[in-house]
Structure 1
C-alpha cells in the first residue's frame, strides 16, 4: 500500500523562521550602531547534536553550541572524548547531557576539569523516568516527546540565567519549539488508534519511547536487544527466537538502529527483508543537515508508512 500523504507531518525546514532570534550558533560581531560591543554568546556544550540542535533553536544567535558527538557513524555508548572536548567543557556556561549512563564521559571530564560554575542539564533526571523493579532504565529519552519539552524549558531557563537580557527571547523560542512537538505526539496517537497492540521488532531499545507512545508492542526477546546494546554476543537460542519473529511474520515492522549494526543485527535485518517485513531505520544522533524536529518527523512518518504496507 502506498504512503498516505495526508497523514504525514510536514518537515520543518522553516522552523528557524518561526523563532524570534533566528537559528544557528553564530556569534554577533557586527556593528550594532552604538559604542558598546555586542554581548558574547552563551557557550553551550551538548553531549550529542540532538541536544545541541535543541539548544540552537532556543538560543538562536545568542548561543555558541558545541556538540561533542555529531557524526552518525559514532557510537555514543563507547565514545572517548578528547582534549578539544575538554577545552570546550572548561569554558561552557551550560552543559547538556543525556544521563542514565549514556554519556558518562561528560561527567568524567567535568570532574577532571576546573569548571565548577557551568549549569548542567541531565535529560534523564529532567524526565523523571526510573528503571522498573525488574528491568533497566531505557536511557534514550530524546525519543520521548514530553521529556524533550521539559528539557527545552530547562535549557531556556539556564540560558536566561546566563544571559538575563535575553531571557524572554529564550522562553518564547522554547514555546515555539515545543509547539512543533505537538504534531509529532498527534501522529503517535493516530498510529496508536489504527495499529495499537500490533507487534514490532527492534535491534536495541533506542526507539521504544516512540513505539510505545504509538501503542506498538515490542516482541523482541529482551536478551537479544540487551546484548546488542551492551555489545555482547547473542546466544544461538535467542538469535533463533528472534529470527522466528520475521520468518513467522509475527511482527509488522523491524525498527533497526543503523548506528550500532553488527553481524547478528544484520541477520535480523535480512530475515525481515526476506519475509517482506518493512525495516524502519533509526539513529541515535541527527543525520547531517537535519534539526531535531525534522529528524523526528521523518522517523514518525517512516514508522507510519511501514505499518500501512
Structure 2
C-alpha cells in the first residue's frame, strides 16, 4: 500500500546530496503550475518554490511573468504518496525568495531542505497555518486545505504580500492579481452553496479525507468509517470487518456518491469503487495535484461540477 504524505515522510541523506522520501508526488518537475520547465530565474523575477503544482499555479496566477516557479511535486499520473526529492530541489530552495508549503505534516521535506539549504531569508508560507485549521478533539487534522476555498483566498493574500516584499515595485500588481484570483473563487463557493441547498444532509462515501472540505461546504455528510479512510491514508491494510462495513454503504445504497482519491488506488479502494459502480452509485474521482492541462480554478470548477452532477442537480 502507498504511504501517505500526511504523517509519514521518511528522510534519507546520501553522501552525494539529499534524497528525501516524502509525501504526494513523483519525479521532480519544475514549472509554473502544471509542471512545464521553468526558465532560469533572472534579477527581474522572483524565484519561488512551491511544494506542489497546486500552489505553484496559484503563485503563477498572482505573480504572472514576474515570478519564476519551481513546483517540486507536479506529476498527476503518479501515486502522490511517495516522493524522492533530489539535489535540484535543494538548489532551487537555496535560491528561493518565496517558498510555499502545505504544512500539517504533508510536506515536511520542505522544512528540512530549507534548513539544509541555508536560506533563512526565504519568505515561507505554510498553508495550514494560514488556514487556522486545527485537528478536532480526539481526531486528526485534515491537511488538504487547498480544497477549502476560503483558505485558498487567505493564501492568495499571503502570496501577494510575500511577492510584494520580494519585489516592492510590483507589489500593487500582485495585490490586484490576488483580488482578481479571489473573485474567481466566489463562483465556486456559490456552487457549493447551491449543492447544499439542494442536497444538504445527504450522505457520501470517500476513500481518503482529500475532498472533505469541499463536501462539507456542500452540506454533505461522510458515512465512511473513519477507520477505513485513516487506514487508506496511512497506507495500512483495512481490517476485514471495517472493509465489509464500508462496502455495505454501497450495496445497501446508503450513500449518494463515492468521492475517491484517484491518485492512491489499491486493492481495497478498488473494491469500494467496484461496489459503488455495481450499485449504480456515481463515482467522483479527485486528485491531490493538478491534472494535465488544468489550472487551479479550472480544476476545482470541474470537481464541484462533477459532485453536483453525481448528486443530480
- In structure 2, how many angstroms separate the alpha carbons of the residues matched to 1:222 and 1:107? 29
Change (3 A) 1:42 1:119: same
Determine if the alignment matches structure 1 residue 81 to structure 2 residue 85: yes
In the alignment, is the contact (CA less than 8 A) between 2:201 and 2:220 conserved in 1?
yes
1:163 to 161, 164, 167: 167
Report what 1:233 is aligned to. Answer: 237
- In structure 1, how many angstroms separate the alpha carbons of the residues matched to 2:95 and 2:292? 26
How many residues align? The count is 278
Determine if the alignment matches structure 1 residue 261 to structure 2 residue 265: yes
Larger helix proportion of the pair: 1
Shift of 1:25: 9.3
1:108 to 112, 120, 123: 112
Deviation readout 1:102-154 (Å, 9 max, x if unpaired)? 01111111111211110000000000000011100000000000000000000
Structure 2 SS opposite 1:44: strand
In the alignment, is the contact (CA less than 8 A) between 2:80 and 2:264 conserved in 1?
no
- In structure 2, how many angstroms separate the alpha carbons of the residues matched to 1:159 and 1:220? 41
In the alignment, is the contact (CA less than 8 A) between 1:46 and 1:52 conserved in 2?
yes
- In structure 1, how many angstroms separate the alpha carbons of the residues matched to 2:301 and 2:92? 31
Structure 1 SS opposite 2:237: coil
In the alignment, is the contact (CA less than 8 A) between 1:77 and 1:102 conserved in 2?
no
Where in structure 2 are the equivalents of 1:141-152 lying within 5 Å? 141-152=145-156
Report what 1:20 is aligned to. Answer: none
Change (3 A) 1:176 1:27: farther
Determine if the alignment matches structure 1 residue 198 to structure 2 residue 206: no
In the alignment, is the contact (CA less than 8 A) between 1:143 and 1:209 conserved in 2?
yes
Where in structure 2 are the equivalents of 1:28-107 lying within 5 Å? 39-107=43-111
In the alignment, is the contact (CA less than 8 A) between 1:48 and 1:69 conserved in 2?
yes
Shift of 1:157: 0.1
In the alignment, is the contact (CA less than 8 A) between 1:43 and 1:93 conserved in 2?
yes
TM-score, length-normalised on structure 1? Answer: 0.87
Report what 1:277 is aligned to. Answer: 281
Structure 2 SS opposite 1:259: coil
Change (3 A) 1:236 1:59: same
- In structure 2, how many angstroms separate the alpha carbons of the residues matched to 1:25 and 1:233? 38
Report what 1:21 is aligned to. Answer: none
Report what 1:126 is aligned to. Answer: 130
Which segments of structure 1 move beyond 4 Å, counting only runs of 4 or more?
24-29
Where in structure 2 are the equivalents of 1:284-295 lying within 5 Å? 284-295=288-299
- In structure 2, how many angstroms separate the alpha carbons of the residues matched to 1:73 and 1:106? 22
- In structure 1, how many angstroms separate the alpha carbons of the residues matched to 2:276 and 2:222? 15
1:138 to 125, 133, 142: 142
- In structure 2, how many angstroms separate the alpha carbons of the residues matched to 1:258 and 1:225? 14
In the alignment, is the contact (CA less than 8 A) between 1:28 and 1:39 conserved in 2?
no
Change (3 A) 1:236 1:25: closer
Larger radius of gyration: 1
In the alignment, is the contact (CA less than 8 A) between 2:204 and 2:223 conserved in 1?
yes
Larger strand proportion of the pair: 2
